[in-house]
Structure 1
Amino acid sequence: MGGRAEGFDWAELPDGSVRITHHGKPATTLRGGRAADFLRDVEDDDPQELMARLTGNFKRGNERTAKLHPRNRGR
């Protein structure tokens, strides 16, 4: 299926927000309810995949197929 999510890390900040980094670079900061949901979910799910989904940095494996579709040829 899709590629393996790797290189993500997270830290809870003193104000309750959560900073997610990818290979040491800031990817996103979660605040409020999203931060609380993340802290709850990170215990149950694969943390790398969860962070990839939240940051939108996750290859789904269909990039080559979409590139070859007739409407995308020549782009």
Structure 2
Amino acid sequence: MGTASGFTFTVRGDDVVIRHHGTTATTLRGASAADFLAQVERGDSQLLMARVTGNYRRGNERTARQHPRNAG
């Protein structure tokens, strides 16, 4: 299974700006930003940013869609 990559984040005041390959993916504010920063210290930051932005479903979806079992 591939790993998430290409994510970066910056803290601007109380906000956290998450970028994917240089493009802003999302901005977290308030409690969401605080929770994110606490979780980054404990785990894999790339996977966490992928989950927060909704960009974690990038595996075999395209291949699975084309499988004969899934062709409807």
Could you state the TM-score of these two structures normalised by the residue count of structure 1?
0.81
Calculate percent identity across the aligned residue pairs.
54
Please report how far the alpha carbon of residue 69 of structure 1 lies from its aligned counterpart in structure 2 after TM superposition.
5.8
Q: Which runs of 5+ in 2 are unaligned?
A: none
1:40 counterpart residue number: 38
Residue aligning to 1:25:
23
What is the alpha-carbon root mean square deviation over aligned residues?
1.8
Cα distance, 1:58 vs. partner?
A: 1.5
- Structure with larger RCO (C-alpha < 8 A, sep 6+): 1
Name the residue aligned to 2:5: 6
Structure 1: runs of 5 or more not aligned: none
Q: Find 2:59's aligned residue among 61, 70, 73.
A: 61
- Partners of 1:11 and 1:20 lie apart in 2 by 7
Task: Report Cα offsets for 1:3-37 as digits up to 9, x if no partner.
Answer: 210000001112x0100000010000001110000
